Structure 1
């Protein structure tokens, strides 16, 4: 991956992958999104010392799912980057911290949002006891919410569909349902 990321997120180079998550090419993020090319993403659930989940509302300027709520931090995996490296990078970037422990890999699934919106999604969890200072370009609002509060907000707020899919899969794994 480039040592200096491009200033325009649409110019970032991503790996394009097949149905089995094998790299079949590379393309700029803008092209990946506009042509619906399958790529890789990471979802990291950040919890504080009390076990509360970091929840945020994305800014209106985001390329994908602007102004929606999310219970994960994360983003795309850059070309040649591992899921694990992307998870730590994205968590630290979006939370505005450094020195996080390595996020714990939980599972991976192929998200299919229809209309050419499909990506491999690796889900992680990380403990963040540091004071957060999210990027203003990424996060319009944030809070650490108790799980019960998050559950109450699910039908009330408009959530990013891929994050909601990841959350439902995570809850099914942890509750057995």
Structure 2
């Protein structure tokens, strides 16, 4: 797959009405969330301890994540490019908003909090839980239990500049094209493919 452009060319944007955040800081400071304390879980998703996020990644400790597919009132999907400060998969594209479940937090709590924070909106409905799977890194231990959600966004979004370097709402057909052209985060790609199979089986 081709490397993603530093910032998508305006002519290539799926929806010209959606503009990238030109002033968004993309290289300001060190990695985000290194010291955030998260739950560590076992193979069956039972909590067995806690750890700072940076240490959990460095040691390959299994943890929890929430993935939220956000759609607008035209049923388009929110796609974004992560900033270079992200602790994992910096500067890659993603189909989901979301993040790691904090210590003592539930998947559902994380899904709503992360969706509102990353999209820059408030008053979202509770995201609908769809399914859960264990994502295993190709060349690493641990992995993370991942719960996939969907939420409807009925107004404008104002994504966090610390988290999101570029964004747009795209149709599913446009997204399929971008999946072949841009480099997306591997866990998000697996979640999206599993989501397609999950829908086909229902």
TM-score norm. by structure 1 comes to: 0.93
How far residue 152 of structure 1 moved from its aligned partner, in angstroms, is 1.1
Runs of 4 or more, structure 1, over 2 Å off, are: none
Of structures 1 and 2, the larger Rg is shown by 2
The match for 2:132 is 108
The match for 1:161 is 186
Distance 1:59 1:161 in 2: 16
**SS class of match (1:159):** coil
How far residue 142 of structure 1 moved from its aligned partner, in angstroms, is 0.2
Distance 2:192 2:80 in 1: 14
The match for 2:65 is 41
Question: Structure 2 residue aligned with 1:27, among 48, 51, 54?
Answer: 51
Instruction: Say whether residues 1:129 and 2:179 are aligned partners.
Output: no
Instruction: Say whether residues 1:175 and 2:193 are aligned partners.
Output: no
Distance 2:190 2:111 in 1: 18
**SS class of match (1:9):** coil
What are the residue-to-residue correspondences of 1:134-153 with 2, within 5 Å? Answer: 134-153=159-178
How far residue 176 of structure 1 moved from its aligned partner, in angstroms, is 3.8
How far residue 117 of structure 1 moved from its aligned partner, in angstroms, is 5.0
Instruction: Say whether residues 1:18 and 2:42 are aligned partners.
Output: yes
Count of equivalent residues: 170
Instruction: Say whether residues 1:90 and 2:118 are aligned partners.
Output: no
Give deviations 1:80-126, integer Å, cap 9, x for gaps.
00000000000000000000000000000000013125000000000
- The runs of 5 or more residues in structure 2 that have no matched partner are 1-31
Distance 1:154 1:9 in 2: 27
